[in-house]
């Protein structure tokens, strides 16, 4: 992807050196991290589920291993890249919203290491990138990108951009009221929880494709970029995750969509560049 290094977004919050401490109990797991929790529990040979079931308000804290100036320095090119993508994606959505006569409120991106507190609760890095509607922030531990490359074979800057713009897609859903409508419907009819979650995630994939379409129009795409994003979308499909973690697939338990579905909806946004073509709830 063609981009200009050298700056940090005004919407970036760098908390990598603040320490991954638990300040309160319990969390609703981030949307972007749910699909990774099961397989990463196996990969790291540790229970990554129990900490998120602790709703008793414990004040226990994780070891403060976050302060790492050398690692911060090594990650600086990535910090500048995600800053560029963040600003570029939000400018794209500002234009789309303005054309529809709607205001766009910018999300913020929080970089953390090991663990972080958000308005949605405490999260360890193992849950992966996530968006919290409560504070309108996207949370990413940059180590996830290396994990995406090593464990899932999805490398390249546009794969990384896809992950971030998917989470910005959740912010767009929040601004449009889609997220709250889905949560309400899930509460009213719990049997639809998984199917509605899949539709929500696939729409965010499509929104990521809408942004990718805009980069193509502006000549920012390079050879292989689209393929990188498609590999990433396929790699984190529920069926692929389940094959890795369980050895078999249970479609009724999907929360994010199959590899084929994720690729299909990203392509739809990419080809059309029109958010109105991202109505996963009508299909």
Say if CB 107 and CB 89 are below 8 A apart: no
Report the run of H or E that residue 197 belongs to, with start and end. Answer: helix 193-217
Q: What is the pTM of this model?
A: 0.83
Strands 12-14 and 108-111, sheet pairing: parallel
Give the pLDDT of residue 246.
81
pLDDT, tens digit, 9 for 90 and up, residues 129-180:
999 999 999 999 999 998 888 888 888 899 999 999 999 999 999 999 999 9
Give the pLDDT of residue 69.
78
Say if CB 86 and CB 171 are below 8 A apart: no
Give the pLDDT of residue 240.
87
Whether 60 shows a pLDDT value over 60: the answer reads no
Beta bridge partners of 14: 111
DSSP labels for 120-146?
TEEEEGGG-SEEETTTTEEEE-THHHH
Say if CB 37 and CB 48 are below 8 A apart: yes
Mean of all residue pLDDT scores within the chain = 85
Say if CB 230 and CB 223 are below 8 A apart: no
The conformational region for residue 227 under phi > 0 = left, psi -120 to 50 = alpha, else beta, is: alpha
Give the pLDDT of residue 56.
37
Best CA proximity match to 118, nearest among 103, 105, 135: 135
- The residue with greater pLDDT, 269 or 126, is 269
SS (H, E, C) 61-109: CCCCCCCCHHHHHHHHHHHHHHHHHHHHHHHHHHHHHHHCCCCCCCCEE
Domain ranges of the chain: 12-282
pLDDT band at 70 (very low <50, low <70, confident <90, very high): confident
Return the SS3 of 9. coil
Whether 21 shows a pLDDT value over 90: the answer reads no
């Amino acid at each position: 992807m063609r981009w200009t290094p050298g700056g940090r977004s005004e919407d970036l919050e760098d908390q990598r050196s603040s320490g991954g401490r638990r300040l309160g109990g319990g969390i609703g797991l981030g949307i972007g991290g749910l699909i990774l929790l099961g397989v990463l529990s196996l990969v790291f040979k540790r229970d990554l589920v129990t900490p998120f079931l602790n709703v008793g308000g414990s004040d226990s804290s994780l070891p403060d291993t976050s302060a790492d100036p050398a690692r911060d320095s090594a990650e600086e090119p990535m910090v500048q890249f995600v800053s560029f993508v963040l600003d570029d994606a939000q400018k794209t959505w500002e234009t789309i919203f303005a054309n529809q006569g709607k205001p766009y409120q910018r999300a913020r991106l929080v970089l953390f290491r090991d663990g972080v507190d958000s308005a949605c609760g405490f999260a360890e890095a193992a849950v992966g990138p996530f968006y919290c509607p409560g504070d309108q922030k996207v949370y990413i531990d940059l180590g996830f990108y290396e994990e995406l490359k090593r464990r899932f074979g999805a490398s390249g800057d546009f794969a990384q951009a896809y992950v971030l713009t998917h989470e910005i897609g959740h912010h767009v859903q929040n601004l449009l009221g889609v997220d709250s409508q889905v949560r309400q419907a899930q509460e009213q009819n719990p049997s639809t929880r998984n199917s509605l979650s899949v539709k929500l995630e696939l729409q965010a994939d499509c929104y990521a494709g809408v942004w990718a379409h805009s980069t193509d129009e502006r000549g920012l795409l390079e050879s292989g970029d689209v393929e990188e994003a498609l590999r990433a979308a396929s790699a984190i499909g529920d069926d692929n995750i389940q094959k890795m973690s369980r050895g078999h697939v249970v479609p009724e338990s999907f929360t994010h969509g199959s590899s084929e579905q994720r690729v299909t909806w990203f392509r739809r946004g990419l080809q059309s560049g029109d958010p109105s073509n991202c109505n996963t709830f009508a299909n």
